[in-house]
Amino acid sequence: MSDAGFVIHVATGETRAAASVDRWLIGNHVAVVRAEDPYAAVVSLCRETREPAMVVVGTDWLAISEHCLLSLIREKYPNALVAVYGGGIDEIAPNVAARLLRLGDGGALEEFLSRSFDEVCRHNLHEASVAMPGSAAPDDVEDGDRWSGRAVADLAQFEKLLESVAESSTLTPAEVATLLGEQKSPAS
Amino acid sequence: MIRPAAHWASEVEFQAGPGEARQAWAARGSSAFGESGARQIQERRTEWMASGIPVLVIGAESLRDALLRALPHVDLRWSDNPLQGVWLFGAAPCERVVLSAEIGAVLGRVIESLRQLAPDARIIVVGRPHLEPFARQMLQRGATDYALDPLARDEIQSLLGLAGDEPSKVRQPMHPAEPNPAAGSDAPTAGELAALGQILQSLGDGPRATLDRLCAWVAEAIGAAGVAIESESFTSSVGASREPFVQPIERAGRVVGRLEISGGTGDPPRLARRAAAYARLIDACMLQAREQQQLRDLASTDHLTGLKNRRYFEESLRSLVDRAAADRSSVTLLLFDIDDFKSYNDRFGYEVGDGLLREISVLLSGCCREQDVVARFGGDEFAVVFWDAQEPRVPGSTHPTAPTALAERFHRALTEHQFKCLGPHAPASVTISGGLASFPWDGRSAAELVRAAERALREAKGVGKNRIQIASGKPGE
């Protein structure tokens, strides 16, 4: 399994997309806590003591009254990357939760899944370290490039883009590509 | 720290600090129960708050308020959102939960989730009498017990394990500060008038619901062990019937019903006076409720066919789609028209054309279920909204099959039907073309669903008519 930790996958998305996400996680050797519906997800949130590296939420079957799941996730895990995908994504109000990565139809999810898990998480780590003023970069980061000048430039771009699009609209594949860097890592 | 979006009810009333909080509660209490009642509630609440027994309530604000009145000695946590309610429970588990049956189809999942977090919690489902079958089903999903409106304080205390005794046979009044109405004069108490006011405001719910409320109201006002009312074609009862006092309900000198009171307190002449007064009120309320329903029916009915009209159809579809979105159930819409209807009008005249529409309406109503909304959409177009309070959708769910089967049954019945209005010279058979579309698969709103069904109808016409086409496109396509 990846050193990056584990991922919570709320698989209320359309089955094919949910299976793609599962395959991507398995392919990247990531441990997954899978929740079949929002209620199972809340039970997992209540029970889970570890902090996941990422939470992925399929939105096809989320009722409007269940959109609060995203704010609950964000409250419990302020630093985790929360990515949402699926058909109901446009119905999620921008203010329901901060810093959501919205992967709608039209290839954004595919673009996201074409990256390696580490690559996706690395960018989020940068974002999280800045989101908490005064916090230092983790000492145990082995990847020296992670804190290089290029990464810092990426980070500024990442934040700018995230601020401009992620909270108000669904990302396009090009925006996902920009967010996650131009260079693709080979999928595991 | 995780701060749940829902909140402690005590914080709503006491957010300014204990001293001011008591004033806040007293201010609220003074409007509902009078000054002395508010003082008593305040004192009792201050004393009972120290016991700190937490009870989680998931449901509408009205349920929370009813429980605040019935259980003033507990710390009530409340959320009107089921998912947030489960979250609140997980953040700070408690042993007692009250759930509203109005939550709908997702209630079973709520109970299962709570059970996962606290296997030994007392989970009580509360609902209106017509939801009793649903509430009973919830026992199989893990609920401890259920209670029906109107909530009796003894009963809910007992169900939540807050009292040592079994529920009393005699329902106790909900308002703690009210004097016993049987002990005073014949004049109604403030509580009685407030409850009557609520009944009057809800007459639009129809005679059935009105009679249930009146029955509960009389039982509580008189402190009776049982009350039964018959009014025209409706009956309602609460509690046990034992050697009842019977008061006829009269209208213009004609007996139109009866009011039975078992175990009422107070002396017999006083009970008789009160019963006569209640009987007159019951009849007046029922008359108003019936008239309101007739007016509503008139406004929502298509005069030619007797089916619901387009306005009613549109309102129902919108409301059912909203409900389906909230509780993850499905809604299916069938739109159809009569193939070559104009030719019937041209050949047999408009009177026969109208007769054809009426016969098809009867046939269609006979093929649908009671809960389905059957309407004339316009001209020779009809619409049926099929809906079920089914289990919530899960990933991988597909179009519901029951509406498809119902639509096909109607299609078959139509083909085999001999139309009397067309007489012996009728063409071989009357045929229809229709489109079926389901939420959320074919449309995510009422308007999208109608568009999808219309598209499917056009496809059915395009491929030779006399068929019902199932929409297969994505929403908005």
> Which amino acid belongs to residue B228?
A
- 3-state secondary structure at position B81: coil
- 3-state secondary structure at position B193: helix
Q: Given CB atoms, is A54 within the 8 Å cutoff of chain B?
A: no
Instruction: Classify each residue of A26-49 as buried b or exposed e, where b means 16 or more C-beta atoms within 10 Å of its C-beta.
Output: eebebebbbbbbbbbbbbbbbeee
Average pLDDT over residues B15-43: 36
Q: Is the pLDDT of residue B160 over 50?
A: yes
So where are chain A's domains?
A: 6-179
Residue B70 CA to residue B162 CA, distance in Å, equals: 11
Q: Given CB atoms, is B58 within the 8 Å cutoff of chain A?
A: no
Q: Please choose, from the candidates A11, A57, A24, A30, the residue with its C-alpha nearest in 3D space to the C-alpha of residue A187.
A: A24
Q: Which of B83, B114, B115, B439 to mutate to test the interface with A (most CBs of A within 10 A)?
A: B83
Residue A151 CA to residue B264 CA, distance in Å, equals: 81
Q: Is the pLDDT of residue B44 over 50?
A: no
- Is A7 within 8 Å of A25 (Cβ atoms)? yes
Domains along the sequence of chain B with CATH: 7-159 (3.40.50.2300), 196-300 (3.30.450.40), 310-470 (3.30.70.270)
Domain covering A6-179 in this structure, CATH number? 3.40.50.2300
> In chain B, which residue's Cα lies nearest the Cα of A43?
B113
Contact A43 B394 (CB under 8 A): no
In the sheet with B468-470, reading across from the earlier edge strand, the strands are B373-378, B381-387, B331-338, B432-439, B468-470
Q: Given CB atoms, is A120 within the 8 Å cutoff of chain B?
A: no
Provide the pLDDT confidence category of residue A35 given band limits of 50, 70 and 90.
very high
User: For residue range B362-389, what is the model confidence (pLDDT) as tens digits?
Assistant: 989 988 888 889 999 999 999 999 987 5
Q: How far is A110 from chain B (nearest CA, A)?
A: 19
Q: How far is A119 from chain B (nearest CA, A)?
A: 29
pLDDT of residue A187: 44
Q: Is the pLDDT of residue B224 over 80?
A: yes
Q: Is the pLDDT of residue A31 over 80?
A: yes
Contact A65 B83 (CB under 8 A): yes
User: For residue range B270-329, what is the model confidence (pLDDT) as tens digits?
Assistant: 888 888 889 999 999 999 999 988 888 888 999 999 999 999 999 999 989 988 877 777
pLDDT of residue B26: 29
Contact A91 B444 (CB under 8 A): yes
Please return the burial class of B217, using the count of CB atoms within 10 Å of its CB with bins 0-12, 13-18 and 19+: buried
Average pLDDT over residues B456-469: 92
Please report which residue ranges of B189-309 form alpha helices under DSSP H. 190-201, 207-222, 268-300
Q: Which residue has the tokens 């909203």?
A: B322
Contact B90 A75 (CB under 8 A): no
**Residue B443, phi-psi category: left (phi > 0), alpha (psi -120 to 50), beta (remainder):** beta
> In chain B, which residue's Cα lies nearest the Cα of A58?
B395
Q: Given CB atoms, is A86 within the 8 Å cutoff of chain B?
A: no
Q: Is the pLDDT of residue B450 over 80?
A: yes
